[in-house]
Amino acid sequence: MANRRKLAAGNWKMNGTAAALSEVQALLAAHPAPGCDVLLCPPATLVHRMAEAAKGGALSVGGQDCHAATSGAHTGDIAADMLADAGASHVITGHSERRTDHGETDEMVRAKTQAAHDAGLIAVVCIGETLDQREAGETLAICAAQLTGSLPDTASAANTVVAYEPVWAIGTGKVPTLDQIGEVHGFLRAELEKRFGDNGTSMRLLYGGSVKAANAAEIFAVPDVDGALVGGASLKAADFSGIISALEKA
């Protein structure tokens, strides 16, 4: 197994104002030198201020989305270069909520991921099946198609993280069995190695979907789970800290 450094990534989604930046200070105080990488992706309005608050500490900051173009008439959108300029080092692409709410296709996600790479950002590319697809036995086929379609040829262990998030488990409290998580992560690892060789072996695979401190340790013990992409449980330092601690021990 490649020596992949674990990653605890938090996605604040459409939550948080300036007052929430106190959670960053609390997190830095609790984990001044964490034994894993730690990433927070706040709303765009907080990226710069969070990056400033985290300066000098062991916390990376990322955006939640970027446009495929570098500039232009795209009201309300943010280019990857702009995120980098604001202090971000990462950006999430292809989150299921973007795919569902904004009709993002694999092709669109691939273009955004390419833009992230071109801007020097690490892309956290999300894939995952719906409950109907899971119950129809289509999980692996859906994940394979999304993985192939969403990752550009420039993807490497240095600039890309893949997050498997079963759509039906996000924010619902429902979590796949450990065997189900292991099956998908093992399958994705094989697919990545087939396409990217050694980079596929070294690329980090995160699990996301109702991860919390209470179930983190058992999830992190599953082979090829290199960390988590966490939603609600990343909003409060006290909650996210438990997940980071579990990952440090994994």
Q: For the CA atoms of 158, 241, 91, 21, what is the dihedral angle to 10 degrees?
A: -140
CB atoms within 10 A of CB 57: 17
DSSP SS3 for 79: strand
Phi, psi of 178 (to 5 degrees): -60, -35
**Residue 8, both tokens:** 């605890």
- Please confirm, yes or no, whether 95 is among the known catalytic residues: yes
Catalytic residue among 31, 67, 95, 117: 95
Q: What is the DSSP letter of 75?
A: T
List the one residue out of 122, 112, 136, 115 whose CA is nearest residue 203: 122
List the one residue out of 30, 96, 36 whose CA is nearest residue 64: 96
Catalytic residue among 97, 104, 165, 191: 165
Q: Please list the active-site residues.
A: 95, 165
